[in-house]
Amino acid sequence: MIELNNNVTPASGWGIIAPSIFQQYEDISVNIKPERLKVFIKKAQELDLKPFLGHALYYELIKWFTADGILSDNMPPKYQDLYKGCTYTDPQGYEIIYEGLTPAMVYFTFARFIESNAVHYTPTGPVIKRYDNAEPLSASAIVKLVQQQRSIANAHVNEVEKFLLDKQADYPLWFFNSKNKSARQAGPRIRGIDRTDFNYPSGNNDAVNLNTLNNFLTDAY
């Protein structure tokens, strides 16, 4: 039976990492407001970390943070190891230095920041800002940069995954999901096909419909 902590306020604030941690990993301008980063920390936490950990383990973990994202002193050692990192011996007898969740969260957040920060929303619609002494990156350059950051994040997630597999007895709420692993790759992925896009009016076009769908699937894979 898994004991849940009911005495700690869930991390309903901005996230489980602080904006100040980013400068340990990337050269981020001090002019970027922490409030701006907090938005993307929360998105990375909800859209990248939660699907990987699974809802059960994710919500059990964040119960040990205050609403301001401060780690509770009462967090069980196994969750401290998962979050902060530790040195352990894997089943093959090798000593492993595990860095915790922070590196993956930083790079997932940074990727989302780069992707969205290029666009600013005004009363007249979305715009790309231009500066006197700097030129904004092209859309293709931004895509490449985002993919680079997500690749780094995924490399760190692979380390988290190994830790959880090696320590699976300590984390019964976590389950390996191969679909989740392929879905978090840096490049665009096809999750499914909306077959209604290929529905032509009924009649003699049935063969055309099938060929169109088959060609699309062949090209996609």
Domain locations along the chain = 19-189, 194-221
Amino acid at 70: I
Residues 53-107: tens digit of each pLDDT = 999 999 999 999 876 678 888 999 999 999 999 999 999 999 999 999 999 999 9
Question: Collapsing DSSP states into helix, strand and coil, what is residue 126?
Answer: strand
Confidence of residue 10 (pLDDT cuts 50, 70, 90): very low
Q: Which two tokens stand for residue 88?
A: 């352990």
Nearest to residue 165, comparing CAs of 98, 76, 77, 80?
Answer: 98
Which comes out higher in pLDDT, residue 122 or 54? 54
Interatomic CA distance for residues 51 and 154, integer angstroms? 13
Give the containing element (helix H, strand E) for 121: strand 119-122
pLDDT for position 116: 84
Which comes out higher in pLDDT, residue 168 or 197? 168
pLDDT for position 137: 77
Nearest to residue 28, comparing CAs of 16, 41, 15?
Answer: 41
pTM exceeding 0.85: no
Residue 136 per-residue DSSP state: P
